[in-house]
Amino acid sequence: MSVLQEISPSVRNMWQLEYGVLARQASQIKEQLRQGVRKPYQEVIDVSWGDPHRGGLKPLSFVRQVLAACLYPELVNSDKLPVDVRQRAQRLLGGCVGGSVGSYTTTAGISEIVQRVSEFITRRDGGAPSYPENIYISPGSQWSLTNIFTVLVNSEGSPRAGVLTPVPSHCTTTLSMVGLGAVIVPYYLSEEQGWELKVEELHRALESVKGVCKPVALYVINPGNPSGHVQSRKSMQEVIRFASKKRLFLLADEVYQDCVYGEKSEFFSYKRVLSEMGPPLSDTVELASFHSASKGFMGECGLRGGYVELVNLDPAVMKYIYNLFSIDSCAPVLGQIALDLMTNPPQPGDPSYPLYNMETQHIRAALIRNVKRAHEVFNSLLGFSCQPVEGGAFAFPSLHLPPKVIQKAKEVGMQPDTFYCMRLLEEAGVLASPGCEYGQKEGTYHIRFCIMAAEETMEEVLRRLTSFHTQFMEDSS
């Protein structure tokens, strides 16, 4: 019997990401460039990932110094690093079994780090209490999300479990839901109103699946990925009331909470808003919120460190969650350390504070300028329109393609926005992601474009994009 016949039907339902075709082509182009093949560009610039260091943003000195001292403890006793760096490394190593980052930790993470993450959440949320026993450190937020989905989704249940999911949405999260046997219940963010989440649309989505599945959870991303929208407190209150009334578990993906650019935008966590709404909601709505060291100004994607905080869960359910998180023993220790440094950075008066403050302010200013420039350029080009980017790592402009392009894409077996991204890659050396990867209303097309990059990189990308798009539209009219 073939192994293929034994593969779970849920796994069979997982579709191949459009990005894979583009990534393979990008690899071929890079190899051609290495072999000296002449092209209109000398390198491929990848703006498809939310990976700040890939985009040329520099790692924070304090973070890398502490990591270096933890990996090579001899540095703790040298004078090559600032005293607060050495003190932090010594403190962190003290929490490691055997004083080594090479040792396993407890399932939830190093207890001292979990405690400090809990204190960070309490500060962030204006004093709303956070409890260490409700926090699990994981190898990235995506890993935590998948574990919580595993608890919520009974793949053998009838009817199948449904998860209300935003459109557009982070594609790997959607794929993981499908792989676990969930039914995706799409709710559409309002592009015309800056990708706002409308509670009426949640009602429509729920009505649309009556008799099809049993909705068990509502997934929200704030700030939006890829939409760039930042929810208002009022909107979040409406969502919480909806989740309570419909008895839905609330999943809040908040990994871009440090990245807010809109002058009138402010990040509030779902945990804070729920707490401030008071009983009975604050005591009954079940919530899991996620954060990560991969995103924001730290940008340490490769270290794989995230956390989930669980609110109002039944103690019996918490036992199953502990069992699930135990499967991988523990999160990578360097990822745990990165979380500690993200949630407890240098403070005024610390020797490392002036440099840390300068570096983070430089990154913030660069990203704000990138957002402004990308918005200006997209809206100046015929066939593009882009909503304001209030937060997150991406612009998600709408692409109005001529019928000739749509027809050509069908002839070669591609989605129209994938076809556009392929041409952009081949002719301009820019790798972006097609909107079909993230979900979009039928008949609309988009590209996802990372703004977390060095300013000179962003300017080069926008220059190439403008040149390519102008010629592309001329040839296609």
CA–CA separation, 283 and 145 (whole Å) = 22
CA–CA separation, 336 and 139 (whole Å) = 9
Q: At 90, is the secondary structure helix, strand, or coil?
A: helix
> Residue 467: what pLDDT?
97
Q: What b/e sequence results for 202-218 when a residue is b if at least 16 CB atoms lie within 10 Å of its CB, and e otherwise?
A: beebbeebeeebebbbb
CATH of domain 3-56+357-476: 3.90.1150.10
Which is it for the CA torsion 238, 240, 241, 245, positive or negative?
Answer: positive
Nearest Cα neighbor of 154 from 181, 178, 173 is 181
Span 205-224, pLDDT tens digits:
999 999 999 999 999 999 99
> Residue 477: what pLDDT?
79
Which residues are paired to 446 by β-bridges? 398
The domain locations on the chain are 3-56+357-476, 104-343
Nearest Cα neighbor of 54 from 66, 38, 43 is 43
Q: For 108, how many CA atoms within 13 A lie in the half-sphere containing its CB?
A: 20
For every residue of 240-281, DSSP letters joined together read: HHHHHHTT-EEEEE-TTTT-B--TT-----HHHHHHHH-TTH
Residue stretches of the chain with pLDDT short of 50: 1, 3-4, 11-12, 14-15
Does domain 104-343 bear CATH number 3.40.190.10?
A: no
For every residue of 193-253, DSSP letters joined together read: GTSB--HHHHHHHHHHTTTT-EEEEEEEESS-TTT-----HHHHHHHHHHHHHTT-EEEEE
> Residue 9: what pLDDT?
55
Residue 466 burial class via C-beta count within 10 angstroms: exposed 0-12, middle 13-18, buried 19 and up: middle
> Residue 365: what pLDDT?
95
Strand pairing category for 45-46 and 430-431:
parallel
pTM for this predicted structure? 0.93
